[in-house]
Amino acid sequence: MKSVLIASPLLLAGCVSNGVQPLRPLEIATAPYNPAITAAPTGSLAYEHGCLLFYGDARTQILAPIWPEGTIFNGTSLIFHKPGRADEPIVLSQEFVLSGQPLTWPTVPGPRASLFQRQCGGTPFAVADVTPAN
């Protein structure tokens, strides 16, 4: 019993020292705004397992959106920030067009990109614009 009590703090210290940490609650991936648009899938957002993901209409395409800096997520809606334009709310499960360009995880800027890759997966997608799917 004593060995378990002594070993437990050492095991926990090992977890902290290796740099692996979960995403903060309601954390979303952000990067400087990139206006390039090469794809515009239609679908909706879902918050699952601590990740805000975009599911294409056929539910076969799963994107990990990389939002422009200034975009915030409150748990039920996302406030999309595009420089020079009024912020736009998007509610979870609301269908909309997500315009931007697919990325690869190594090209996603920022030190926390690897955390999003590990926890969320999906194809990273630099978001340039959002519009209703009418």
* pLDDT at 20 (0 to 100): 58
pTM: 0.82
Q: Would 4 be classed as within a structural domain?
A: no
Inside any domain, residue 5: no
Is residue 77, in this structure, part of any structural domain at all? yes
Give the model's confidence band at 3: pLDDT under 50 very low, under 70 low, under 90 confident, else very high: low
| Domain assignment of residue 63, yes or no | yes
pLDDT tens for each residue of 12-43? 444 444 555 678 889 999 999 999 999 999 99
SS in 3 state form for 57-75?
CCCCCEEEEEEECCCEECC
57 domain-assigned: yes
Q: Is 119 exposed, middle or buried (0-12, 13-18, 19+ CB in 10 A)?
A: middle
Average pLDDT, the chain: 87
Query: For the chain, what is the domain count?
Result: 1
Is residue 3 one of the residues assigned to a domain?
Answer: no
Mean pLDDT for the stretch of residues 73-87: 95
As beta bridge partners, residue 68 has: 31
* Structural domain containing residue 57: 22-132
Tell me if 99 is assigned to some domain: yes
